[in-house]
Structure 1
Amino acid sequence: MSLVRIACLLLWYLQTVVVGEELAQPQDVTLITMNTNYTLSWDWPQRSADSPAVTFTTQYVGKYQLRNWKKSPNWSTVCNESPLKSCDLTAVGLHYLAMYVLRVRANTKERHSVWVHKEFCPDKDAALGPPVKVNLALDESNIEISISEPVTSANTPMRNIVPTLRYNVIYWERSADTQTKMLTTDTSLVYLPNLKAWTWYCVSIQSRYDFYNKSSILTPPQCIQTEGNILWWQIFLYFLASLAICFLVVLLSVFMSFWCYRIIKATFFPSDQLPQHLKKYLCSSPGSDVPGLLTPDQECELLCKSVSISAIPTVLEIFSPPPEALPTTSLEPNSRQSHEKSSTSRDSGVFSREGSTSVQQSSSSQFYRGAKDFGWSPFDLEQVSMQSMAPGLKCQPLNADEGIVDMCV
């Protein structure tokens, strides 16, 4: 035996001298697990010369195979020369109640490190996950909790592989300085009895495996308010509150209606009234403020007045031309006398006034004689004089026999 050992040591020394320094091995080999999801992770000291070309190989074998000295174990490779510093073992399908040995080493093109071993028993070492979902419901003053069990990587319930799975139900009142209470159950439907009415309660649940004393993390808290019978003073209080709200709504409606009425009245029916002397002309009936439309006949009656036209101012405005400007015609004495008589009779009714002198009469008679020679009548001369005095007047033809006529102004 001593010779054999010496030979082995000699061979190892020669291998060390020829190959050189061994490659650094992976460090801090750990397992990241949740239910049946397993990932082997490690660290490796990086070196500037070796790190770009370093790869890692991961293998596993059942622990029972290592106990058989007569037969070498059959290692199964999961990740072969992978550049990653982790290896996912979930797809391998490791049995939950079996025990395995995992190993990993670093590789280069020419060298490799020694293997780093890690024992793994999923039933003992794998972490337990919390319930997938928690639902809260009310049953009067009780709370009904529905728990969805944690699932495996194949989306099957964990209870299939862990029959003794249980749950810790932790609940408390949602108020300051309240103590938590815990209820342990192995069913997925839980009732929380003897709770206060109209009180908020929060619930959080974790999975539990008593054989290896494993428990999951707590689920996020969920809160719900319990119900109960309404007390008489609460009913009375609600009635008073509703009555006050209705009163305020009615009062506000009345105020808004009155405000709108005042605005409409001030806009369409102002307080300033028409004068009385305009109402009798513009309004449809006496005592009414509603204006009425006027017909053309009514407009003429309202806008026309009895106007007295006197020819005396007209005579003052007429300019008498000199005798040489008038044409000389030979008239018979009889016709001239008749014309003078007719003109004198007309002048006495239209052109005469108190205090007029004989010079004015003679000048007017001479003017009319000259106008007659040109074919003008006394009425035409009066009409032209009035139009020249007031060109804006609208009047009807004057009657030579009448001294007073109606005129629209």
Structure 2
Amino acid sequence: MPRPGAALLLCLLLLSLPEPPAAESSFQLPAPQNMTIYSYNYQNLLRWAPVKVDNGSVLYTVQYSTMACDCWEEINCTNITKTECNFTHPNIKSFWTITLRVRAELGQVKSVWVETNTFVADQNTTIGPPVIVNVDSTPDSLFLSFVPPVKEDTLQYLVRYWEKSTNKQHETEWTKNTRIGLLNLKQLTEYCFQIRAKVHILHDNIGPLSKTDCHRTAANDATRAGFVVIIFVAATVTVVFSAIVCFLFIQKFHQVIKYWFQPPFKMPPHIEEYLKDPGMPVLEELQNNCAEEDPWDSLSVVSNAEGSQALVKDTLNTHVHSDSRSTESGKNFITLR
């Protein structure tokens, strides 16, 4: 028989052993893998690889914990089917140090929790470059106006600029102003620049540079006046030169130009035939045609009684109606139609 002391010792050893899991089926699901946090302009997103099962749809739950509280709280990612969670939430401050964890669920079967590394939005988010909305140009400066990528009081801005024809770069000081002036520049010179933002905290989070943009400085009053004089002189010389060229051209090609604008008169064929053969009754035929085509106006001719009828007959042999009337003054009235 065993001794009482040995039996007591054996009982104590059995009691000190850890309890076996209540049901191994509680952890049959594999845990989510490849946990990655993406954050751009304080838009925070957690992604992971999907858990593959033969039957059913796997659901996921995401929780977060802060350094100030050793507890886990749920966000808007409970029992979701997507393999990502947007944990941008007003209750989660940008300066908090938080930890996320994810668990997969399939009915009553659940996986173990998988935690991420610590995350601080102010330090880990990527700050995009500001957007330039206006560039004011003066003879010796450029003034850039822009809007910030996010509304944060901790943001500061810097501009890197250079003359386009050279590679020597300059940088402004970090500032909170959303309008920055590039001073002591050359007039009528093209300058290129890039702008970036940073979160100004204990460890500055500096964002990437923007795309290169180029603008030219303006001209001063003296330069503009010189341009006006040059343009006026050039226009005057052009007008005078054109006038001289036109005058010489007209002198050299006078006959050609005269022919273009005043072509030679061409006699009608029936008149030309009449001149060649005066005996032809061309005039009478012409009068007959005109009488048929054109209406005649009435015309009264006042003349002496003598010779008036002979004058009319000598002038128009046909289509003339003469009406001679004696008046008290001894003159005749002849009406032509």
Q: TM-score, normalised by structure 1?
A: 0.54
Contact 1:167 1:185 in 2 (8 A): yes
Q: What is the match of residue 60 of structure 1?
A: 64
- Of 89, 94, 97 in structure 2, the residue corresponding to residue 96 of structure 1 is 94
Structure 1 149/271 Cα, relative in aligned 2: closer, same or farther at 3 Å? same
Identity of aligned residues (%): 23
Structure 1 residue 204, shift from structure 2 partner: 1.5
Please list the CA deviations of residues 255-301 of structure 1 after superposition, one character each: whole Å capped at 9, or x if unmatched. Answer: 99x999865644xxx4434549549987xxxxxxxxxx997978963
Aligned equivalents of 2:188, 2:161: Cα separation in 1? 16
- Whether 1:241 aligns to 2:234 is yes
Structure 1 residue 252, shift from structure 2 partner: 9.8
* Consecutive unaligned residues in structure 1, runs of 5 or more: 67-72, 152-156, 283-292, 304-409
- Whether 1:184 aligns to 2:173 is yes
Aligned equivalents of 2:246, 2:114: Cα separation in 1? 85
Aligned equivalents of 2:205, 2:72: Cα separation in 1? 32
Structure 1 residue 79, shift from structure 2 partner: 1.0
Opposite residue 235 of structure 2, the aligned amino acid is S
SS at match of 2:76: strand
Q: What is the match of residue 119 of structure 2?
A: 120
Contact 1:36 1:126 in 2 (8 A): yes
Structure 1 residue 23, shift from structure 2 partner: 1.4
Structure 1 91/7 Cα, relative in aligned 2: closer, same or farther at 3 Å? closer
Aligned equivalents of 2:89, 2:244: Cα separation in 1? 74
Aligned equivalents of 1:64, 1:205: Cα separation in 2? 37
Please list the CA deviations of residues 147-187 of structure 1 after superposition, one character each: whole Å capped at 9, or x if unmatched. Answer: 32232xxxxx211xx2xx32120112233x52332212312
Q: From the two aligned structures, give the one with the greater strand fraction.
A: 2
Opposite residue 143 of structure 2, the aligned amino acid is E
SS at match of 1:90: coil
Structure 1 residue 120, shift from structure 2 partner: 1.9
Structure 1 125/294 Cα, relative in aligned 2: closer, same or farther at 3 Å? closer
Query: Please, what is the CA RMSD of the aligned residues?
Result: 4.0
SS at match of 1:196: coil
Structure 1 residue 87, shift from structure 2 partner: 0.9
Aligned equivalents of 2:66, 2:15: Cα separation in 1? 31
Structure 1 residue 195, shift from structure 2 partner: 1.0
Opposite residue 208 of structure 2, the aligned amino acid is I
How do residues 2-401 of structure 1 correspond to structure 2 at under 5 angstroms?
6-8=17-19, 11-12=20-21, 15-16=23-24, 19=25, 22-44=28-50, 46-47=52-53, 49-50=54-55, 53-66=57-70, 73-118=71-116, 119-151=118-150, 157-159=151-153, 162=154, 165-175=155-165, 178-186=167-175, 187-210=177-200, 211-229=202-220, 230=223, 237-246=230-239, 265-266=262-263, 270-273=264-267, 275=272, 278=275, 301=317
Structure 1 residue 88, shift from structure 2 partner: 1.2
Structure 1 273/79 Cα, relative in aligned 2: closer, same or farther at 3 Å? same
Aligned equivalents of 1:181, 1:94: Cα separation in 2? 39
- Structure of higher CA gyration radius: 1
Please list the CA deviations of residues 97-124 of structure 1 after superposition, one character each: whole Å capped at 9, or x if unmatched. Answer: 2222211121112422111112222222
Structure 1 residue 59, shift from structure 2 partner: 1.3
Opposite residue 220 of structure 1, the aligned amino acid is K
Structure 1 residue 216, shift from structure 2 partner: 1.4
Aligned equivalents of 1:233, 1:41: Cα separation in 2? 64
Aligned equivalents of 1:231, 1:2: Cα separation in 2? 101
Opposite residue 158 of structure 1, the aligned amino acid is E
Q: From the two aligned structures, give the one with the greater helix fraction.
A: 1
Structure 1 residue 218, shift from structure 2 partner: 2.1
* Consecutive unaligned residues in structure 2, runs of 5 or more: 1-11, 284-293, 297-311, 320-337
Structure 1 residue 191, shift from structure 2 partner: 1.6
Contact 2:27 2:111 in 1 (8 A): no
Q: What is the match of residue 341 of structure 1?
A: none
Structure 1 222/247 Cα, relative in aligned 2: closer, same or farther at 3 Å? farther
SS at match of 1:82: coil
Aligned equivalents of 1:45, 1:251: Cα separation in 2? 90
Contact 2:156 2:197 in 1 (8 A): yes
Aligned equivalents of 1:97, 1:2: Cα separation in 2? 49
Opposite residue 236 of structure 2, the aligned amino acid is L
Q: TM-score, normalised by structure 2?
A: 0.65
Aligned equivalents of 1:133, 1:233: Cα separation in 2? 33
SS at match of 2:65: strand
Aligned equivalents of 1:237, 1:262: Cα separation in 2? 41
Q: What is the match of residue 375 of structure 1?
A: none
Q: What is the match of residue 326 of structure 1?
A: none
Opposite residue 23 of structure 1, the aligned amino acid is L
Aligned equivalents of 1:253, 1:34: Cα separation in 2? 70
Structure 1 20/228 Cα, relative in aligned 2: closer, same or farther at 3 Å? closer
Aligned equivalents of 1:244, 1:15: Cα separation in 2? 103
Aligned equivalents of 1:221, 1:145: Cα separation in 2? 13
Q: Provide the aligned length of Structure 1 versus Structure 2.
A: 266
Structure 1 216/20 Cα, relative in aligned 2: closer, same or farther at 3 Å? closer
Contact 1:25 1:44 in 2 (8 A): no
